[in-house]
């Protein structure tokens, strides 16, 4: 592994590091104080904070907070990454799908940039079990939703056993059904039965959340039409991704 560190890079040094990392076996990590705005299937923005920006050689990019499990914003492979000078810092611009998906990162301060060349030829072996997924969710409920609290695990009711009963920031009950494999239409029906049961027996507002590594289009459509929600648990994705694929791609 070859590592280069650039302390407080100027525009030319940062642009050179970004250019050299694209298309090669180099990963660029930018530690910066920045604000972020993203557009695409999801639109949003976040104000200034200290962040970590990861740029992969396949064009994938993600922006992370130091204390969050999930990325603030990310784009998949074959994104175009460009750097522009500003009066107050730099603009790192990522675009994909002919500009349909974009990320604007206003870099106000860049104390450190790390470029490293690394290879990884190991093949993954998937051994995750339902028990492991449940243990992960119990320990990391914020992976499903910020502010989520777990109230009950494997909670028995008249129509079955609910994997998790949680509460969101607003105090709403969240009925969570977890699947280790590809989510199916039958799983939507199962979750809907649980939510209907809780709606009859609980005074609080009730939401339904289906958690799985992957969702098909029919399943996603059925969830929307049923007023239910989904969460892809990327930590337990089972597909093997090749050099032209990325789990970031499915996020868009």
Residue 105 above 60 pLDDT? yes
Indicate the CATH number for domain 130-236. 3.40.1350.10
How many angstroms from the chain centroid is the CA of residue 211? 14
Judge if 2-117 and 130-236 fold alike in CATH terms. no
Distance in angstroms (rounded) separating the CA atoms of residues 247 and 12: 31
The domain defined by 2-117 carries CATH number 2.70.180.20:
yes
| Tally of CA atoms within 13 A in the half-sphere of 249 that contains its CB | 12
Per-residue pLDDT band for 131 (boundaries 50, 70, 90) equals confident
Distance in angstroms (rounded) separating the CA atoms of residues 166 and 67: 22
Per-residue pLDDT band for 78 (boundaries 50, 70, 90) equals confident
Per-residue pLDDT band for 203 (boundaries 50, 70, 90) equals low
Per residue in 30-72, pLDDT (tens digit) is: 999 999 999 987 799 999 999 999 999 888 999 999 988 789 9
Per residue in 155-198, pLDDT (tens digit) is: 999 889 999 999 999 999 999 999 988 899 999 999 999 999 88
**Domain definitions of the chain by residue range:** 2-117, 130-236
Mean pLDDT of 210-226: 92
Contacts of 98 (CB under 8 A, 6+ apart): none
Strand partners, 81: 94
């Amino acid at each position: 592994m070859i590592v280069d560190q650039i302390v407080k890079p100027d525009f030319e040094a940062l642009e050179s590091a970004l250019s050299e990392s694209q298309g090669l076996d180099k990963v660029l990590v930018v530690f910066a104080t920045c604000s972020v705005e993203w557009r695409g299937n999801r639109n949003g923005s976040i104000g200034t904070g200290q962040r970590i920006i990861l740029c992969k050689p396949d064009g994938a990019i993600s922006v992370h907070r130091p204390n969050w499990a999930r990325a603030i914003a990310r784009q998949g492979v074959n994104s175009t990454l460009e750097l522009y000078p500003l009066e107050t810092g730099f603009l790192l611009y990522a675009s994909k799908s002919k500009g349909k998906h974009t990320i604007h990162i206003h870099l106000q301060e860049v104390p450190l940039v790390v470029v490293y060349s690394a290879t990884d030829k190991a093949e993954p072996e998937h051994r995750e079990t339902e028990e492991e997924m449940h243990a992960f969710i119990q320990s990391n409920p914020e992976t499903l939703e910020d502010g989520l609290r777990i109230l009950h695990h494997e909670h028995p009711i008249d129509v079955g056993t609910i994997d998790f009963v949680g509460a969101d920031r607003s105090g709403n009950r969240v009925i969570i059904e977890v699947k280790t494999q590809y989510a199916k239409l039958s799983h939507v029906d199962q979750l809907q039965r649980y939510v209907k049961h809780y709606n009859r027996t609980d005074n609080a507002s009730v939401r339904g959340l289906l958690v799985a590594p992957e969702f098909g289009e029919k399943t996603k459509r059925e969830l929307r039409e049923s007023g239910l929600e989904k969460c892809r648990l990327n930590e337990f994705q089972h597909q093997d991704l090749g050099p032209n694929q990325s789990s970031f791609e499915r996020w868009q």
